[in-house]
Amino acid sequence: MFEVKGIINNKEYTLKYSGGILTGDGPALEKARAENKKDYGYLGLVPGGTEEKYLLSETAAEDLIVNHVFDKVLESKDDWPEDEPGTIH
């Protein structure tokens, strides 16, 4: 699960991804769905990343939303485990 709050066209919106379902404010959802149809190559971290249908994978969806949906991210939180010390991405 993750939740991102950010700015699109000078307005604040929130998107939440949980259990493979993206919910949130209408304009942000519309933009996420439109961006999901574009080819950005590989998004997300292994093993959850993908080269297509980004919104079907949690890590790819987070990557898409943070980097291609919001003009500016205000807040991002998730329930993912912390990285081990010394982890390199």
CB 57 within 8 A of CB 51: no
DSSP state, residue 68: I
Q: How many Cα atoms are found within 13 Å in the side-chain-facing hemisphere of 45?
A: 7
Q: Could you give the angle at the alpha carbon of 6 between the alpha carbons of 16 and 4, nearest 5°?
A: 25
Q: What distance in Å separates the CA atoms of residue 34 and residue 88, rounded to the nearest whole number?
A: 31
Rounded to two decimals, what is the model's pTM? 0.86
pLDDT tens, 2-18?
999 999 999 999 999 99
Return the SS3 of 69.
helix
pLDDT > 90? residue 79:
no
